[in-house]
Structure formats: C-alpha cells, structure tokens
Amino acid sequence: MPKTTTDVLDVLIVGAGLSGIDSAYRLTERNPDLTYTIVEQRERIGGTWDLFRYPGVRSDSDIFTLSFPWYPWKGTRTVAQGDEIREYLEDAAAHFGIDKHIDFGVKVVSADFDTSTDLWTVQTEVGGKKREYLTRFLYVCSGYYRYDRGYEPDFPGIEKFKGQLVHPQFWPEDLDYKGKKVVVIGSGATAVTLIPSMADDVEKITMLQRSPTYMLALPWSDPMTKIAQKVLPGKAAHSVIATRNALLTYSFYQYCRAFPKLSRRTLRTMAKMQLPKGYPVDVDFKPKYEPWDQRLCVIPAGDLYTAIRKGKAEVVTDQIDTFDETGIVLKSGKHLDADIIITATGLELVAMGGANLSIDGAEQKPGDKYAYRGYMLNDVPNMAWAVGYTNASWTLRVDLTAQAVAKLIALMREKGYTHAYPTAEGEVLEDAPLLELDSGYVQRAQGNIPKAARTQPWVVRHNLVLDAIDARRYDITEAMVFGTVEKKKAKASA
C-alpha cells in the first residue's frame, strides 16, 4: 500500500536481513507500542542470505553467534548454509509478527531531516514509482556493501575471453559448470567456499590468487554442542553454546594479535598437516601480512584442503598479465585454460545503503562523519546505523546496537524529546578507521564510510567482550544533545 505524508512512523528500518529483523525485535521488546515499518529492496526476507546464491554459500562465522539470542538456532552444525540462514530469518520474523511490518521491493533513494518538525522524509522507489515515508527515527540496517554491484578490477584483455564470466554476487541460476574448466579469481571467503562446493562436478577448478590468505579449518559440528542441546532447554543451550563460541573466537583473535609470529606458525602447521606431502605451503598458504591484519577465512572440516589433496582443485599464486580467448595468461608465462571465469574479487563498501542523506536540504556525507559508539553519526539527529564486527559474528555487535537504540528511543519517549544526536562540540578528533582491516575492499572505501576516533565515545572497537561490558554501564546521554520542536520554536521566536 502506498504510504502518504500523513502516516508518521516512530521508526523506519531499512533492510530486512539479520540486522533489520533483530532491530525490529529489540525496539518493540523495550517499546511495545512503537510503530515501525521495515523497507526492503528485495522481494523477500534475508538480505545477504537472499542475495548470495552461489554454490555452497554459507556463514563464515559460527551460526550460534550469528543467529539471534532471542530465537535459538535449532541445528547442530557450527556452520550453516545460506538457505538455512534465510529460512531461519523468515521463521523468526513470522514467529514474532515482524513480517507483517515489511514493505518489499522498496529502494531508499534519499532521506532528509527537517529540523522544524524533527521528522525524516524518506524518498523511495517502488516499481519505478515514488513513495514517501515520514518517520521520527531512521534506522539503517542495510549493511555496508553495495547490493547492485561487486568490485570488478580492470582486467587487461577481459573483452577477448570467449567463455563465461560470472561474479558470485550475481550467480546465474542456469549456470552449467559440469565437466568444465573453471578459474576462480580471488582467495577470500567466497572463493574458498566456491571451490570445494564445485570441485566434484567440474573437470578442473583453479583458485588464482595474487597473494595467500590465512585459512582456519573448523569442524562442521562438535560434541559439546550436541551435549548442551541434549541436556539443556533450547534457549539455555543456545546461550551456552553461543557464549562459548564467541569467547573461543575472541581468544583466538587476541592470541593472533598478541603473538603474530607464533600464530603464523600455528596456522602454517595446521595447513601443512592437511595438504599433500611436499605441497609448497609457503607459496600458496603463507601470507605476507600478520594474522587478522585482513580477515581470516574459515574452511569447514578443511574442505578446501581436502579438494586439493584429492586432486580436485589447485591453487595458483601469480598475477594476471592478460585475458585471452581461452583463459588467462599469467605474469609467469603460465596459461590457465578456462570455460568459466568467476571473479570473486570482493565487495564495494557503501554507507547508508548508498542513499543520499541531508538535513534541511544540506547534504551530509557519511565519509565526513564520526561514528558515535559505532552506530550514530555526529550531528545527525534521530538516525542509527547497524554495523557488525570484522573479527566476530556480525550479529554480536548489531544486537548490542539494537538494544542501545531501543534504550535511546525509550528515553526520548519518556522525556518527550523529539530529537537526539551525538556531538563533539567543536572538539578536534583524531581519525581512526571504522573497520580495523587492511583488506583491499576496506582501503578502497576510505572516504566513503564514517570514521572512528581515538577518544571515547567515538572509539569503535572490534572487541566483543569490552563492548558487552560497556553496554551495561555507559551513560547513554554522554556527548548527546536532546531537545524538542516546541523549545526550538520558542527559542527562534524569542
């Protein structure tokens, strides 16, 4: 149903993926009579888990920490397939009636905050037609990468290739790769998922990487999970398993950062044990950077190593010289024959889903803003942004964010405030990265996404333990400005 300017929502949530569903639950958990709508560009719930449909798509962190603490995951495996996650989101939304609040096929184009009314006017497109939403609070839960385009390097000679080019973000439903020669360009989470999933069906599959990535083999499931699910009630079992997994991930991350040389040796030894005897580990699986300078890839049950060990897949560490009609010519002079080339070359990061933000018509560039506690922007009223961790499950942070936003809105409603925003009050802040990674996709996005700073409350830590502790004790009014439309009008008339 078309929205009109007479419908004023308490909150408009952008995105019906993990963040959006979690936010809807947390907002109404604390504010039961809140009116809200979720707008979703796609035609069904899922976000990332509806967009990506390439073979083997799965979570790259354990599912018990990726799923919601308020809706227990019922499976026993540590890593879940993409379609399982999407179905879980659909079930969670239906169970709590969140699905009744979703408008599908809605693309957010722009949002303007009117300081004379303390309302956001959000312009959208639905089937080529314009639709407008009015809301008191805007909550952007669309993640931080572009849905309509992945990163495509400028490959020399790519137009010469006579085979099929595929980007995993737009996987063709009818792609037939059985018995074909396939080259996957890239060595990140997408590439290491695709290769073992396709290996049994292709003639040959090659992962072409410029430089190695750290890999960590984890089991699909573990005995402790099954025991906890057997002896404890569903919610308690989920909580115990998720807490244990989160702490194990956190501990391993801290180990890698505190002891980089030792952790490098640990990961190399683990790789060497699972690869064929005599395999050149230091060529293909020994990165130049330290662990967690860039993301570390999880490979369930070491499936990538298994595919290599069985001769089903190979890894080539080299650089592209040019494409030709039948494949890729490498700098070393080697030629990779290919019927299909998959460009798993990464993502393009974008803030606020790429929508234009403004206040009283004046553009607000996210890249010029500082992130307040990781979820609001300085001097931008009544708006939050959900961003997850880079070194742990996405949901762990966005759930903390959702609870903080719910608490802020509850305070505003209790006190009668019509606007709230964080401010540095003229303080000169020292810039720090929002995402603590040296990965190419992060470096390319500098200037397009908000910044962090070196002092609180503008520090954005990727530390789930400290964040969980702070969430219980920090002052939600720190560095915040609160006010009402009436007081602004009275001040202006005076």
Token pair recorded at residue 57: 């798509």
Whether residues 54 and 191 fall in one domain: no
Residue 151 backbone zone (phi > 0: left; psi -120 to 50: alpha; other: beta): beta
Q: How confident is the model at residue 3 (pLDDT cuts 50, 70, 90)?
A: very low
Token pair recorded at residue 182: 């396939």
Whether residues 331 and 361 fall in one domain: no
pLDDT digits (tens, 9 = 90+) for 56-93: 999 888 999 999 999 999 999 999 999 999 999 999 99
Whether residues 29 and 114 fall in one domain: yes
Whether residues 261 and 354 fall in one domain: no
Q: Does 1 map to a domain?
A: no
Provide the domain count of the chain. 2
- Asked which of 291, 322, 343 is the last residue of a domain, the reply is 343
* CA–CA dist 119, 111 (Å, integer): 10
pLDDT of residue 1: 33
Whether residues 140 and 221 fall in one domain: no
Whether residues 353 and 338 fall in one domain: no
Whether residues 240 and 127 fall in one domain: no
pLDDT of residue 439: 63
Q: Does 398 map to a domain?
A: yes
pLDDT digits (tens, 9 = 90+) for 461-474: 888 888 888 888 88
Q: Does 2 map to a domain?
A: no
Whether residues 456 and 384 fall in one domain: yes
Q: Does 76 map to a domain?
A: yes
Whether residues 264 and 370 fall in one domain: no
pLDDT of residue 220: 86
**Does residue 491 surpass a pLDDT of 70?**
no
Whether residues 195 and 294 fall in one domain: yes
Q: Each residue of 295-314: b (16+ CB within 10 Å) or e? A: bbbbbbbbbbbbbbeeebbe
Phi then psi for 45, rounded to 5 degrees? Answer: -65, 150
Q: Does 20 map to a domain?
A: yes
Kindly report the CATH number assigned to the domain that includes residue 489.
3.50.50.60
Taking the chain, what is the end-to-end CA distance rounded to the nearest angstrom? 43
**Roughly what angle, to the nearest 10 degrees, separates helices 394-415 and 18-30?**
30
pLDDT digits (tens, 9 = 90+) for 401-431: 999 999 999 999 999 999 999 999 878 899 8
What predicted TM-score, i.e. pTM, was given to this entire model?
A: 0.92
Whether residues 370 and 322 fall in one domain: no
Distance set, CA 13 to CA 9, 374, 442 (Å): 10, 17, 25
What is the arithmetic mean of pLDDT over 147-161?
Answer: 85
Structural domain boundaries, residue 103 = 8-148+348-493
Query: Which amino acid is located at 123 in the chain?
Result: Q
Q: Does 3 map to a domain?
A: no
- Asked which of 288, 309, 343 is the last residue of a domain, the reply is 343
Query: Which amino acid is located at 126 in the chain?
Result: V
- Asked which of 304, 327, 343 is the last residue of a domain, the reply is 343
Whether residues 279 and 205 fall in one domain: yes
